[in-house]
Amino acid sequence: MGQRFDRVSMWLLGLMAGGMVVGAVALVPVELRPYLDQLADHKALFERYRARAGDDRPFVSLNAWKMELDRCANLSPALIGGSEGGGPEMAEILDVCGAMAEAAVAGSPNFAYGWYIAGGAAMRTGKPAEAYRRYLRSAATNPAEIWIASLRFQVFDRPGVQLPADVAAAADRDVALLLANGASLERVARRYVDDPAFRKRLPAIAGALSADRQADFVGRVRQLMARDRARPQAAPAMPSPG
């Protein structure tokens, strides 16, 4: 009886191991797809993206997703059409990238970069309400990393745009994160110099910073202002006759 049980157990373990090997072999081409796509030209790459934009589980790891979303976000009609022209409209590219990002977050709801890309695509196609909902998901799922806070700041917290209250609160938290990091300080300082509305927000955000960091920020602002004053001014354009 014991020997028979051992044989059954070994058979089951062998079956499980075989299944795992088959599964791993099946996943390898899928996981390698982003690396293989690096070899494709822009037109072929976009056709691949368009064909599988609705596939909600095309990749295994978030790293694979990020590689593909990175490339999709950097496509343009000129890149795809090349010297012959005839590339797709930018809106179509953004729709494909947005669909890919939506598929990514459907499978991985905590994928902050996927929410960022989905929101950015919605913003650039004139859907601010959808964009802000996805921005808030990105901010909620990764509130603490400088690199993605910087991306969100550039795309969603734009000069001259009045943000909804909940979005403004999340944007202020991103700005506070950027202010606490020396590498991103100049980006915030540049916005401070250029955007009067942003200047009104800064005192409340910067109040929690250390005295040294506040001094660093003020110094950076003064450097930018001095640099702007020293820059040669363009000659005024001649008025056209008539």
| pLDDT for residue 45 | 87
Q: Is residue 133 predicted with pLDDT exceeding 50?
A: yes
Domains and CATH numbers, the chain: 30-142 (1.25.40), 146-229 (no CATH)
| pLDDT for residue 83 | 65
Q: Is residue 97 predicted with pLDDT exceeding 50?
A: yes
Give per-residue pLDDT as tens, 215-238: 999 999 999 999 999 887 655 555
CA-to-CA separations, 56 to 59, 104, 216, in angstroms, rounded: 9, 6, 45
pTM more than 0.85 = no
| pLDDT for residue 51 | 86
Give per-residue pLDDT as tens, 7-48: 545 444 444 444 433 333 344 455 666 666 766 788 888 898
